[in-house]
Amino acid sequence: MKDQFYKYIERLQDRITSTIEELDGAAKFNEDIWKRDEGGGGKTRVIENGAVFEKGGVNISAVYGKLPEALRRQFKVDEGDFFACGLSLVLHPKNPFIPTVHANWRYFEMYNSQGEIVTQWFGGGQDLSPYYLFNEDAIHFHTVCKKVCDNYQEEFYPIFKKNCDDYFWNTHRNEARGIGGLFFDYLKETDMFTMQDRFDFVTAVGNSFLESYVPIVEKRKNMSYEKSHKDWQEIRRGRYVEFNLVHDRGTLFGLKTNGRIESILMSLPPSVQWKYNYSPEKDSEEQKLIEILTNPKEWV
């Protein structure tokens, strides 16, 4: 399973980066291949200062070795080895009318002292963080998410959509990071689903990513904007940074497993503002976004 999934994310990385380069039309991804001393490594691809994307990364990695102490405590085991691989991406657009997007699809195995698998699971999802709210964009993104879920189980979308709303919640701000999408974790073998079933579902979600995001970028990339729109984008990016550094489990996992810091923090935007006690004007487009972020909505 781990070989099967790693080959899949290699192909997916190629497909996503080539599509994003074509969409940007100016910048190309720079590739950085790295090794982890304890075992494994990855392939980081970063795009910067493009015509459409100010910064973005599409990374794959496969790391393995002894479970670090923090993870042994989390899994309540005295010892064990692990293997984890996945694709993680974040795209920060230049135009504030294009939303930032994040996605991640991953696989994990843990072994006993005899090298036997004692647990394995899939996780992942995709979510959208707009700066200005266009209802049709939100509906499109969630419609694609729901369609791929409904092909497997009708209960998947409402469960994974709520998981996403709950997970990407900045508790210290009492607001969502964005308008959500899908989030699932610990998808294991059950009486109803084999691990191959789980693989098929997670890869179908990964394959739907470009369909969910590219049409939104194409629709918004040529919209004109003012400095005030850019300022608001950078203020909202600050909330994005806060979530990633304070709450995000993927960031914390990378730091606890001696991951490559440049790849872990690739998700952070290039320019950010923090204004003291800032609130947008009443009835403004900026305020309309805040209202949705404090009260997650059912889009489809």
Annotated catalytic sites, by residue?
102
Question: DSSP state, 269?
Answer: -
Instruction: State the Cα–Cα distance between residues 122 and 262, nearest whole angstrom.
Output: 24
Listed in sequence order, the DSSP H helices in 1-98 are: 2-24, 69-75
Here the tokens at position 226 are 């003012």
Q: Do residues 157 and 149 touch, judged by C-beta distance below 8 A?
A: yes
Question: DSSP state, 78?
Answer: S
Q: What one-letter code names the amino acid at 140?
A: H
Instruction: State the Cα–Cα distance between residues 171 and 44, nearest whole angstrom.
Output: 30
What is the number of other CB atoms lying within 10 angstroms of the CB of residue 184?
A: 22
Instruction: State the Cα–Cα distance between residues 94 and 56, nearest whole angstrom.
Output: 10
For residue 37, the surrounding DSSP H or E stretch is none
Q: Do residues 59 and 42 touch, judged by C-beta distance below 8 A?
A: yes
SS3 of 131, please?
A: coil
Q: What angle (nearest 5°) sits at the alpha carbon of residue 262, between those of residues 64 and 173?
A: 100
